[in-house]
Amino acid sequence: MAAGPEPPKELMDAPDAIQEALQPDLPMLSGDLKAPATRGDIVNLLSNFRSYFRADLAVLQEEVMAFTNWVKMVEEDVSLLAQRQTGTVEEMQVIQAFH
């Protein structure tokens, strides 16, 4: 029986490429990809993930607070315009949209 064609080099190098791509951010599990992970490997990996997620969560919380403050300012501006009862056509359209 004849052997099939050689797989592409990219597929043959995939495990090494994956390891190289992940190395700067996350450590790979003990050496060979087929080797069983040790408890320490898993703890380190989870610790790294937790650190990344906490940093992302802090940034997201800051962005949500900034957006919330912006919404409050818009609501205050609309409220002031509504109390004034006068304004440009655009201002009156904004008042109607919010009320």
Instruction: Please report the beta strands in the chain, taking only residues with DSSP state E, as ranges in sequence order.
Output: none
CA gap 95, 86 in Å, rounded:
10
CA gap 63, 57 in Å, rounded:
10
pLDDT at 45: 83
pLDDT at 64: 92
CA gap 78, 96 in Å, rounded:
9
At residue 88's C-alpha, the angle toward residues 85 and 92, to 5°, is 55
Q: Running along the chain, 99 residues long, what does each successive block of 10 average in pLDDT?
A: 56 58 51 66 82 82 92 86 73 73
Length of the chain: 99
